[in-house]
């Protein structure tokens, strides 16, 4: 199926990809001519050679990082990318830890 804007329909199957965290200075350099990257609220992830990345329809998806006890922590929420899967174009995630006060206020107390 092709959408009216030329894009493909979302895949109904949930997909997973392993992405490495990109150092802030590297991400900042990759996007310096496009958009400023804020270390305080953003996390960049993905291989420098490209190929694996978030893309259209992935906004709001989780960036989960393993903990030493085998459980996972929600580190980020997929936000944006300029060119899906292109080299030197990491995926950008909203950093969850910087928004915990707001999340807890909106979600209410835990039972």
> What does the pLDDT look like over 53-111, one tens digit per residue?
998 888 999 999 999 999 999 999 999 999 999 999 999 999 999 999 999 999 987 77
Residue 111 in any domain: the answer is no
Please say whether the beta carbons of 80 and 92 come within 8 A. Answer: yes
| CATH code for position 39 | 2.40.10.10
On whether residue 29 sits in a domain, the answer given is yes
Q: Is residue 25 part of a domain?
A: yes
67 in Cβ contact with 9 (< 8 Å): no
Tens digits of residue pLDDT in 23-43: 999 999 999 999 999 999 999
Calculated CA dihedral for residues 90, 39, 64, 99, nearest 10 degrees: -140
Report helix, strand or coil for 3. Answer: coil
From residue 13, alpha-carbon distances to 4, 63, 90, 97 in Å are 22, 18, 23, 28
Residue 106 lies in a domain: no
Structure tokens, 55: 């893309």
Residue 45 lies in a domain: yes
Report pTM: 0.83
Averaged pLDDT of the chain: 88
Residue 72 lies in a domain: yes
Residue 13 placed within a domain: no
Domain count, the chain: 1
Q: Which residue has the higher pLDDT, 20 or 3?
A: 20
Over residues 44-67, the pLDDT tens digits come to: 999 989 888 998 888 999 999 999
Domain that holds residue 37: 21-100
């Amino acid at each position: 199926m092709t959408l009216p804007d030329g894009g493909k329909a979302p895949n109904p199957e949930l997909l997973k990809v392993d992405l490495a965290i990109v150092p802030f200075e590297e991400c900042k350099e990759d996007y310096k001519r496009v958009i400023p990257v804020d270390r305080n609220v953003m996390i960049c992830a993905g291989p420098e050679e490209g190929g694996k990345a978030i893309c259209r329809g992935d906004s709001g998806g989780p960036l989960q990082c393993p903990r030493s006890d085998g459980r996972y922590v929600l580190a980020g929420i997929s936000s944006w990318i300029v060119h899906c899967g292109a080299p030197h174009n990491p995926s950008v995630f909203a950093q969850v830890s910087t928004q915990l006060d707001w999340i807890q206020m909106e979600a209410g107390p835990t039972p």
